[in-house]
Amino acid sequence: MNLEDIQTVRSILSKPQKIVIIPHKNPDGDAIGSCLGLQSFLLEKGHEATVITPNDYPKFLKWMPSSGSILNYERENTEAKRSLEEATVVFTLDFNDLSRTGQLDKVLQEKSADFIMIDHHQQPSDYATVTYSDVSMSSTCEMVYNFMEFLGALDTITKDIATNLYTGIMTDTGSFKYRSTSSRTHRVVADLIDRGADNMKIHQQVFDTNSPSRLHLLGVALSNMVILPEYRTAYITLTQQELDENDFKKGDTEGFVNYGLTLEGIIFAMIFIENREEGIIKISFRSIGDFSVNEFARKHFNGGGHDNAAGGRSELSMKETIEKLNKILKTYKSQLNP
């Protein structure tokens, strides 16, 4: 953030505000952690602050401090709408375009308030009063930590805030193994541990709590994996029937896409998940090295994200989507296997 943006934020927050904090649809650990961390900070500063998610989020994140205060726009629509109508300030976290909020898009487009964006994805839209965008950041949670530092408020970080921010940084960096994990990231994480984040407990809560159905679904996913050595690529498919047969719950496929990258020689991995209710195939892309899945997703699958982690979608059938992928990969052979 530059000095002008910091002064603008200080001016906006200089008096008590009614604030709503919004993450993207299908929020992940970074989205939930940054929203809850910011909410606690704003409450301590004397503001009213409510987190409203466009829809539900994974069960493995529902232990997080203050998560019980989150309003689900789909399930608690009346209360969420009331909070939105009364809000004088709207923070949008971990996304760069209002279309990422699903059915909240139109509501936010028509909302008259000061918008403050905090996000680390590429090519942010120009809708906010203040835009704090930095694609070099490991996570939005690290940016919320920076945001508090810009405001001279690091001393207000409680154990709960530290726990939420640590969780988001940990999940969005793949447990600190992605390229975006900088020396600064580790210094931030060290400070959060010093302020009360129990790193071992957080890892256990997120990664070590499985249901039998999720492990069965992982088995199906791995058995469906297709390896294309000529493109140094691997992909997984999961149909709606396979999800239903294994009692799929939101968040159950988290991390499945990364298994492809554990294979020797593979630098590009994808997972294609059928969502019959929305009529789409949801896609996650991961890569190692210089191959940009952000550019790949934007160009071919209506998506985007980061250079090594992105998402997308296809409105074709699973069979047609895979056929499309195979045609596209032929044009990337020199990039993927030089």
Q: Which residue, among 26, 30, 33, 80, has the nearest Cα to 57 in the 3D structure?
A: 26
**What is the pLDDT, as a whole number, of residue 178?**
86
Structure tokens at 98: 């209002």
- Residues 127 and 227: their CA atoms lie apart, in Å, by 42
Q: What is the DSSP secondary structure assignment for residue 178, as one 8-state letter?
A: S
What are the b/e assignments for 103-138, b being 16+ CB within 10 Å? Answer: ebeebbeeeebbbbbbbbbbebbeebebbbbeeebb
**What is the pLDDT, as a whole number, of residue 317?**
97
**What is the pLDDT, as a whole number, of residue 305?**
87
Phi, psi of 202 (to 5 degrees): -65, -45
CATH fold of the domain at 212-336: Diaminopimelate Epimerase; Chain A, domain 1 (3.10.310)
**What is the pLDDT, as a whole number, of residue 229?**
96
Q: Where do the domains of the chain lie? A: 3-207, 212-336
CATH fold of the domain at 3-207: inorganic pyrophosphatase (n-terminal core) (3.90.1640)
* Tens digits of pLDDT across the chain (338 residues): 999 999 999 999 999 999 999 999 999 999 999 999 999 999 999 999 999 999 999 999 999 999 999 999 999 999 999 999 999 999 999 999 999 999 999 999 999 999 999 999 988 999 999 999 999 999 999 999 999 999 999 999 999 999 999 999 999 998 998 888 999 999 999 999 999 999 999 999 998 878 999 999 999 999 999 999 999 999 999 999 999 999 999 889 999 999 999 999 999 999 999 999 999 999 999 999 999 999 999 999 999 888 899 999 999 999 999 999 999 999 999 999 87
> Which residue, chain included where needed, has tokens 């942010």?
124
Q: Note the pLDDT tens digit of each residue in 153-177.
A: 999 999 999 999 999 999 999 899 8
- Residues 8 and 31: their CA atoms lie apart, in Å, by 24
Q: In 10 A of CB 15, how many CB atoms?
A: 9
Please determine whether the domains at 3-207 and 212-336 fall in the same fold group of CATH.
Answer: no
Phi, psi of 290 (to 5 degrees): -90, -5
